[in-house]
Amino acid sequence: MKYVIGNLKAHKNRIQIQEWIDVFLQKITSDKAVISKLDSDELTIIICPPFPFLSDLSEKIGSLSNISIGTQTLSSFEEGSFTGEVTAPMVTDVATYSILGHSERRNIFHETNEEIEKKILLAQKYAIKPILCIRDEKDPINPDVTFVTYEPVEAIGSGHNASFDDVIAMKKKLNLSPSQLFIYGGSVNANDVKDYLTHPEINGVLVGTASLDPEAFYSICTQA
């Protein structure tokens, strides 16, 4: 199974996101090869929109197999007087996955390892699978997390993705357990994704900028 994860970050309004999903699904559903990979568990596509659009996208995707919705973060609180927070129980009916510990959350919003660990535990409590992002081997990895995404900060949004040698060297350093999956993210695009997606040591890709164009994101999904 290969995983293609689209992180739409804080882009698009409701109309734009509707257009995005319409184009993306039209492309996917008319491509027999991609549908066959989805149906045979060779490919999972995870779309992570901004919170307000989780339900819209979930409804559009309906029962298409192996296309799922994820959040881009979660609150480290379960519920209570925490103005503005979006908690795991609020999204458990629409989100199957959650990106946690993204470097933008760590670096811009100063999320700590302790907060990220609380988010992981809450996600798991509410049957949401954490996609833990780490910047390097110094960021701790909860051994119960299945999806571990290596995203070197200098590769994110820069147009310069990390070399295979660096990505594989990092995987070795992480000493993941056999049940953990290793995902790469950082400037992956439709022109260079194939080498990552077909590499036996890499279980999938996390795509930011290139996921904003539904045709480019579709093209990435076709290369798994």
Does residue 128 belong to the site contacting ligand PGA (CB under 6 A)?
A: no
Phi (first) and psi of residue 53, to 5 degrees: -110, 5
Residue type, 92: T
Catalytic positions are 102, 151
Smallest separation (angstroms) from ligand PGA to the CB of 99: 7
Q: Which DSSP state fits 161?
A: P
Does residue 209 belong to the site contacting ligand PGA (CB under 6 A)?
A: yes
Helix boundaries (H) for the chain: 14-29, 32-39, 54-61, 88-91, 103-107, 113-125, 164-174, 193-197, 214-222
Does residue 71 belong to the site contacting ligand PGA (CB under 6 A)?
A: no
The site string for ligand PGA over 137-166 (x = CB under 6 A, - otherwise) reads --------------x----xx---------
Nearer to ligand PGA, 77 or 209 (CB): 209
Does residue 183 belong to the site contacting ligand PGA (CB under 6 A)?
A: no
Both structure tokens of 210: 């290139």
Binds ligand PGA by CB under 6 A, chosen from 208, 214, 220, 224 = 208
The answer to whether residues 76 and 122 touch, using CB atoms and an 8 Å cutoff, is: yes
Q: Which residue is nearest to ligand PGA (CB)?
A: 208
Element (H, E) at 64: none
Site residues (CB under 6 A) for ligand PGA? 7, 151, 156-157, 185-188, 206-210
